[in-house]
Structure 1
Amino acid sequence: MVLSFVLSGCNTGPTPEEEIYETLEEVVNLETSFKEQQNPLVELEKKEKELYDQIISLGMKEFDKIVALSEEALAIVEERETRLNEENASIEASKEKFNLVKDYIANLEDEKLSEDANQLIELMENRYSSYSTLYSNYLEAIGHDKKLYTMFQSEDLTLEQLEEQIKNINESYEKVIAANEEFNNFTEQYNESKLAFYENAGLEVVYKD
C-alpha cells in the first residue's frame, strides 16, 4: 500500500514542497477504497476455492448439487469482479489527482529536489501502468472462472474440456501473480522515494498508520 504521512509545523503560506505534499497525501486518501477491497477479495477467493474443491469431488450422480455449488461460486466470482472494479475506480481517481503534482514541480527552486520529484512521478506512473496490467489480467482470469462454473452446469462436459479450461485459468493467474509482484515492487519504491523527497524538502512528517 501507499504510505500515508502527516505534516507538522506548516508555514502560513504553502510552499511548492508543501503543495506537493498535500497532493500526494490526497492521493493516499483516494486509494482508501483500493485498500478496503484487499481482505474481502482474499476471503472471496478462499470461499470460491472451497466451492471448487467440493464440485470436483462430486460425481455426475450428484449433478444437481454440482449445479447448485456452481451457481454459488458464480455469485462469488461476480462479487469479486464488483470489488475489483471498485478497486480500479479508486486507483483511477488517485491517478487523476497525482497528475496535479507536475504543476507544482515547475515551481520548485531547488534543482536536486526537482529531480527527486520527477523520479517520484516516474515511479508512480510505472506503478499505475503495472496496476493497469494487473487489473486487465485479473479481469481475464475472472472471465475464465465464470466460464468454468458455467461449464460445470452442463452434463455434456468432458474431461478434456475441463482440463483445457483449468489450464487457461492457471495461465491467467500466473500472469496476475507476476503483475501483482511488479505492482508491489513499484509501490515499495514509490513509498521510499516519497519519504526521501519529504526529508530532502525539509518537511517534518511522521508515518500515519
Structure 2
Amino acid sequence: MKKFVFLIAMMTLVLAACGDNKEEYRAFYTELETPINVESDIQDISSEYDALEADKRSYQEEVNTADRARLTELSATLLENTENRAGLVNDERAIMEESASSLDTLRELAADIPVEDYQTDADALIELMEARYTAHGEMMDATEEMLEKELELFTTYGNDDLAQDQIDALLDELSELYANVNETSDAYHESTAAVNEKRSEILDTINN
C-alpha cells in the first residue's frame, strides 16, 4: 500500500511598490513559507516509507512458497518492517502538527489586512489549510489502523498452528483498510490542491 504525500509547492512573490494597500496582505502571504519549510522533511519520510513498502511486498511474495522455518523468518522481518513504517507515520504526524501551529500567526496577520476583499481571501485560505490538516490526520489514522492489522497478520505468519482461514479473514479486513487509506489519501490530495489553488490566486492578486 503506497502512501502518497504531496508537499505544498514553494512560492514566488514579486515585491510591489509601497502604498498599494497590500503590505499586510503581502506579509500574510510571506508567512506561508513557515508551514512549507516545516513540511519539507516529509518528502524524505515519504521516500523512506515507500522503500519499506516495496520491501514488504517483496517479502510477502515469498510467503505462499516458504517453508516453516522461512515463514518464521519472514514473520519477524515483516513485523520489523511494519514497526519502522509506523515510526515514520508518527514522525510525519508530528511534522504536520508543527506545521498546523503556524495557523495562529496566519490568523493574526489576516486580521490585520485592511482591505476587506484581501482579508476574505486570506481567511478562506486559512479555512482550506485547516481542512487540509484535518484530512492529513484522517489519512494518518487510516494508515495506522492498516499497520496495526498488518502487525496482526504478520504475527500470525510466525505461529506454529497457522490456519489458512485465519489468514484469509485478516486479508479480507486488510483489503477494506487499504481501500480506506486510498480514500483518505485522495481526500488529502484534493485538499492540498485546493490550498495551492487559493494560494496561487492570492499571489496573482498581490503581483497585479
Answer yes or no: same fold by TM over 0.5: yes
2:9 matched residue in structure 1: 3
Counterpart code for 2:112: N
Indicate the RMSD between aligned Cα atoms, in angstroms: 1.9
Cα deviations across residues 46-76 of structure 1 (Å, max 9, x unaligned)?
A: 1101101101222xxx211101111111111
Cα contact 1:34–1:90 (8 A) shared by 2: yes
1:169 matched residue in structure 2: 174
- Count of residue pairs brought into register by the alignment: 200
What is the rounded CA distance, in whole Å, between the counterparts of 1:97 and 1:84 in structure 2? 21
The answer on 1:45 being equivalent to 2:46 is no
Instruction: Measure how far apart 1:8 and its partner are.
Output: 4.2
Q: Which runs of 5+ in 1 are unaligned?
A: 204-209
Cα deviations across residues 152-176 of structure 1 (Å, max 9, x unaligned)?
A: 0002121110011111111111100
Counterpart code for 1:9: L
1:109-188 equivalences in 2 (<5 Å) = 109-188=114-193
SS of residue matched to 1:57: coil
Cα contact 2:25–2:118 (8 A) shared by 1: no
Indicate the larger mover: 194-203 or 124-133: 194-203
1:207 matched residue in structure 2: none
Q: Which runs of 5+ in 2 are unaligned?
A: 1-6
Cα contact 2:16–2:207 (8 A) shared by 1: no
CA distance 1:10–1:90, shift in 2 (3 Å): farther
More strand by share: 1
Cα deviations across residues 112-156 of structure 1 (Å, max 9, x unaligned)?
A: 111111111111111111111100010000001111110000021
SS of residue matched to 1:48: helix
What is the rounded CA distance, in whole Å, between the counterparts of 2:151 and 2:17 in structure 1? 55
1:27 matched residue in structure 2: 35
Cα contact 2:13–2:203 (8 A) shared by 1: no
Instruction: Measure how far apart 1:11 and its partner are.
Output: 7.2
Counterpart code for 1:49: R
1:189 matched residue in structure 2: 194
What is the rounded CA distance, in whole Å, between the counterparts of 2:152 and 2:91 in structure 1? 22
Match of 1:99 among 104, 113, 126: 104
TM-score w.r.t. the length of structure 2 is 0.90
Cα contact 2:75–2:157 (8 A) shared by 1: yes
The answer on 1:17 being equivalent to 2:25 is yes
What is the rounded CA distance, in whole Å, between the counterparts of 2:61 and 2:170 in structure 1? 15
Cα contact 1:138–1:176 (8 A) shared by 2: yes
What is the rounded CA distance, in whole Å, between the counterparts of 1:182 and 1:4 in structure 2? 21
2:4 matched residue in structure 1: none
